[in-house]
Structure 1
């Protein structure tokens, strides 16, 4: 009988905490960032943060401003040299985008099943951030990890006309709002792909509504373009 493969190692909490210690100092110094809704996030148990993806700062801002130590799925291209070593050291998970990266998802599920928090950007790439479509990996993680989903709106991290790889001007106003926690409906009448598709639709609707409402509430509009032309 073949033994089951060992569960992926989970980064110690103190190392993941570095994201918060360093990130809050950095963003508090360089930008005018308003953070809303930290008190809405469950203090214990597995949590999956799902955010819209507008600019390059969304990734580091999520674990820096979250109220709990958070491991984020980060594109594999960044895991090179000293930066790659540091990203792994503070708990982030390399993922090959648009591929259904099984290794990355397995590592993220291990964090959730240990009672930790994971962040993911289900749109898969930076763009307008209006959540017009999402990939299924986020819903799969929530279901497999038994995680509560917390939508996160990132506003002001990229201006219209700016490249998706560019940094906002120093001192720019940005808003990060954590939404109310949601349990994805586990429809027992559906199986396999149909169940995952239904959960993905629910997750997309929850995140899209949260982003739209936060944009109106804080009077910070999303970019009018996806940044592709500026990047080219």
Structure 2
């Protein structure tokens, strides 16, 4: 479902999907949400979350104080699940690198909406020790602030990357202080991208560690990596 004339996901997609996200967070699971006041109340926002489970995107979606369109690997857009993702306004991305998906995200941000991305690209420990360049490209080219999002509890200990938590598990989602990035005079595009990516990585990693200390909820062990890259190095 798209808005006529823009090609962007229809705003109507949020009318049903946001309540479903809230139900997932607060009725199926027990999610504590902190830092909502750190999210700008208007204008475009990039939500950048750490990645430990396939539930991270839906949990972040349900916890956020504003609706967002999340980048989801294109392989998920098949069958019934694909129809649900499309109907809820999510955005497909080729995990091998996808400039078109990033441009569509920029169009969404230019329209004053919010985009969600899991910039680590692969499910792992969630410590944000490395991120891909897509989120830096979006931040620099849209001017949208980046809000780091710590997501804890969706996977614990040595649980498999595909593990589905039983209903009632406690999750913790925390929204950190917004970070605004811009190109500097005399700085090359390559240098701007590298600096922005490092600043975002440091902000996300630091916020994850702060949230662990405040919540007492640890990250899981890294486990095997699942190739779910979000936008790869597209746009570099």
TM-score clears 0.5: yes
- Tell me what 1:27 maps to: 25
Check whether the contact 1:95–1:101 (CA below 8 A) recurs between aligned residues: yes
Q: Tell me which of 71, 74, 82 is aligned to 2:72.
A: 74
Matched, 1:226 2:231: no
- Tell me what 2:231 maps to: none
Cα distance in structure 2, aligned partners of 1:218 and 1:159: 14
Cα distance in structure 2, aligned partners of 1:20 and 1:37: 19
Cα distance in structure 1, aligned partners of 2:55 and 2:27: 14
- Tell me what 1:56 maps to: 54
Cα distance in structure 1, aligned partners of 2:171 and 2:47: 18
* Secondary structure at the counterpart of residue 213 of structure 2: helix
How far apart are 1:56 and its partner, in Å? 1.7
Residues 1-232 of structure 1: pairs in structure 2 closer than 5 A: 9-97=7-95, 99-223=96-220, 225-228=221-224
Root-mean-square deviation (CA, aligned residues, Å) is 1.6
Check whether the contact 1:128–1:226 (CA below 8 A) recurs between aligned residues: yes
* Secondary structure at the counterpart of residue 228 of structure 1: coil
| Structure 2: runs of 5+ lacking an equivalent | 227-236
- Tell me what 1:3 maps to: none
How far apart are 1:129 and its partner, in Å? 0.1
Deviates most, 158-167 or 13-22: 13-22
After superposing on structure 2, the runs of 4+ consecutive aligned residues of structure 1 that deviate more than 6 Å are: none
How far apart are 1:218 and its partner, in Å? 0.6
Q: Deviations over 1:73-115 (max 9, x none)?
A: 0011110012112211211111112x22011111111100000
